[in-house]
Structure 1
Amino acid sequence: MSRGFVKESDQEEVPIVPPRAELPPGLPNYVTRTGMEALEEEREDLIRQKNNLGPASESEHRIARNHIDALLLQLENRISTARVVEHSQQPQDEVRFGAKVTLRIDRHKKTKTFQIVGVDEADIGKGKISFVSPIAQAITGKKPGETALIKLPAGKKEFEIIKVVY
């Protein structure tokens, strides 16, 4: 039936689902073992939510179900493309995916430690940066004692690799 003959109140709302963290085209979807487990837990949580939708009108129930289905579709795509990178398979003396890296920035006394993780795992508040971030890209392949220079809008910053742990 043409949408012109459907009452406005009968038209279903299209769920607005924010996109997941961006993964640049052509790059593999690397994840840590912990990141893969988190994606799978997120899927289980969404399935539980879908199965436990509370009492609501038929319309509200359908809208909530559609929203969860849209989230699950995005998540299933991310899980299906995920490539788990095992820490034990990384060179232990250089910065690679999954490494916890202690850095000295611009020769300051204080250091900062970051772990290089997948795009869905990144959380700067927890010290986790995405492997596609400028810092991660600049320090990947470096060894303790080496430095990387990053050009930022506010100027250049030098990052010295102090320690690499997997």
Structure 2
Amino acid sequence: MNPTINYITPAGFATLRAEYDHLLGVERPRIVEVVSWAAGNGDRSENGDYLYGRKRMREIDGQLRRLSKKMKDAKIVDPAAQPDKSRIFFGATVTVADENDHQRTVTIVGNDEADADKGRIGWGAPLARALRGAAVGDVRRVTLPGGERDYEVMAITYPSG
């Protein structure tokens, strides 16, 4: 898999689509209504509802453009369809152990759906890059902000189709 392509899981794409649809179908129309009402109240230079509404509308439009670009550039990959489940590729859930035998389980997902608190690391993260293609028992050196660490791959799983 090409690391420069914006890979994303079907669930991650659905999340982007839901956010886009909510902003376009709910948030933006509500702000347009507030701005229209506020504009009808006269002097716009000191009208907080109008000024805030215009600012919020620009923010929503910017977010809609960003989400649209992310969805356009996304390559949806279903991890359950991975033909070689013995190695680490996009969508794998991996258990690794460091030099002190502390185990950590992470799922390699698209950069747009990464959430470290939930154990979801982006495809472009240092640990994910180091683990690509590894099999159970392989040891990989990872350069992290705190220095280099070695991780041994303990287990690899993929979601079932």
Question: Is there any run of 5+ residues in structure 1 with no aligned partner, and where?
Answer: 1-25
* Number of the residue aligned with 1:119: 111
Counterpart contact for 2:9–2:109, Cα < 8 Å: yes
2:29 to 39, 51, 58: 51
Q: Is the 8 A contact 2:126 2:144 kept in 1?
A: no
* Matched-pair identity in %: 29
1:163 aligned residue (155, 158, 161): 155
Render the CA deviation track for 1:103-146: whole Å, top value 9, x for unaligned.
Answer: 111141x3111011111101101101111111000011001111
What is the Cα deviation at residue 63 of structure 1?
Answer: 2.7
Structure-1 separation of matches of 2:65 and 2:118: 27
Aligned residues, how many? 140
CA drift at 1:39:
0.5
Matching residue within 61, 67, 72 for 1:75: 67
How far apart are the structure 1 equivalents of 2:104 and 2:145? 21
Residue matched to 1:92? 85
Aligned mate of 1:39, from 8, 11, 16: 16
Secondary structure, counterpart of 2:62 in structure 1: helix
- Aligned equivalents of 1:29 and 1:98: distance in 2? 13
* Distance in 1, Cα, partners of 2:89 & 2:135: 10
Alpha-carbon shift at residue 152 of structure 1 (Å): 3.5
Task: Answer whether contact 2:126 2:143 (CA < 8 A) is retained.
Answer: no
Say if 2:40 is the partner of 1:62.
no
- Partner secondary structure for residue 55 of structure 1: helix
What amino acid is aligned across from residue 138 of structure 1 in structure 2?
A
**Structure having the larger proportion of residues in helix:** 2
Q: Using a 3 Å threshold, how does the CA distance of structure 1 residues 107 and 145 change in structure 2: closer, same or farther?
A: farther
Q: Deviations over 1:74-118 (max 9, x none)?
A: 11000011101111332211110111111111141x311101111
How do residues 14-29 of structure 1 correspond to structure 2 at under 5 angstroms? 27-29=4-6
| TM-score after normalising by structure 1 | 0.78
Are positions 1:101 and 2:78 aligned together? Answer: no
